[in-house]
């Protein structure tokens, strides 16, 4: 099988090594051809070796931590309305945060919160986002800009503490017990 393949490759290479002939036709034009003309005085042309160029490996741009599109999407992307020195008081764990963006949110882009490293809530095009029933304690929060499902840019993470009323607190109103139904009198 290898012998047959080698013979076929040699046969294909023969036309590439064909001889070039040069002659002058009846009108005085110089003609170059790969077939020896009949009845014409032709000379063979010795061609110099062909120029070759080594194939170049494509150069890849140096990758940075974020795509170029993300680096230039928004010059300002940060959360607002979170306390930095004190705890955030939210007795039921529900509060909202603002998002500062410059320039304005571009068409097709959406905002989504990242709470404790995980996406939180539905993406929105409104720069005011709400968190619901967040447990007490320390949390980290960031906001990301999405285009479809792809993250374009993410803000710096902000650490804050949620303070909720304790279930054992004397200040918490006691639940009122439901009235117990009275038994119906039975007829005599």
Domain shared by 157 and 113, yes or no: yes
Domain shared by 76 and 156, yes or no: yes
Please identify every stretch of the chain with a pLDDT value under 70, giving residue numbers as ranges: 1, 3-18, 60-72, 167-175, 188
pLDDT in tens, 72-97: 589 999 999 887 778 888 888 899 99
> What is the structure's pLDDT at 151?
92
> What is the structure's pLDDT at 85?
77
Is 54 part of a structural domain of the chain?
no
Is 53 part of a structural domain of the chain?
no
Peptide bond into 130 cis (omega under 30): no
Structure tokens at 147: 């285009």
SS3 annotation, 78-105: EEECCCCCCCEECCCCCEEEEEEEECCC
Helix, strand, coil percentages (3-state) for the chain, rounded to 5, are 10, 35, 55
Domain shared by 105 and 36, yes or no: no
Domain shared by 74 and 147, yes or no: yes
CATH number at residue 81: 2.60.40.10
Handedness of CA 38, 40, 41, 42 (dihedral sign): negative
Domain shared by 41 and 73, yes or no: no
Is 1 part of a structural domain of the chain?
no
d(CA 13, CA 151): 53
> What is the structure's pLDDT at 68?
44
Alpha helix (H) ranges present in 43-177?
68-73
d(CA 127, CA 104): 10
Calculate ∠ Cα 180-181-187, nearest 5°. Answer: 145
Say if CB 139 and CB 159 are below 8 A apart. yes
* Total structural domains within the chain: 2
Structural domain including 91 reads: 68-163
Q: Classify residue 10 by its DSSP letter.
A: H
d(CA 72, CA 75): 7
Please provide residue 65's backbone torsions phi and psi, each rounded to the nearest 5 degrees: -65, -25
């Amino acid at each position: 099988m290898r012998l047959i393949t080698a013979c076929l490759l040699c046969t294909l290479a023969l036309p590439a090594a064909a001889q070039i002939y040069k002659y002058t036709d009846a009108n005085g034009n110089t003609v170059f051809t790969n077939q020896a003309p009949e009845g014409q005085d032709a000379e063979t042309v010795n061609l110099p070796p062909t120029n070759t160029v080594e194939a170049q490996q494509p150069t890849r741009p140096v990758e940075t931590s974020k795509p170029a599109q993300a680096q230039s999407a928004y010059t300002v992307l940060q959360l607002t309305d979170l306390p930095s020195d004190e705890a955030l008081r939210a007795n039921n764990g529900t509060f909202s945060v603002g998002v500062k963006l410059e320039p304005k949110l571009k068409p097709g882009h959406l905002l989504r919160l990242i709470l404790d490293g995980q996406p939180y809530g539905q993406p929105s095009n409104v720069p005011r986002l709400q968190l619901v029933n967040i447990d007490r304690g320390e949390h980290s929060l960031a906001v990301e800009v999405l285009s479809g499902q792809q993250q374009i840019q993410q803000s710096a993470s902000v650490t804050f503490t949620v303070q909720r009323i304790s279930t054992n607190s004397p200040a918490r109103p006691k639940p009122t017990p439901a009235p117990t139904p009275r038994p119906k009198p039975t007829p005599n």
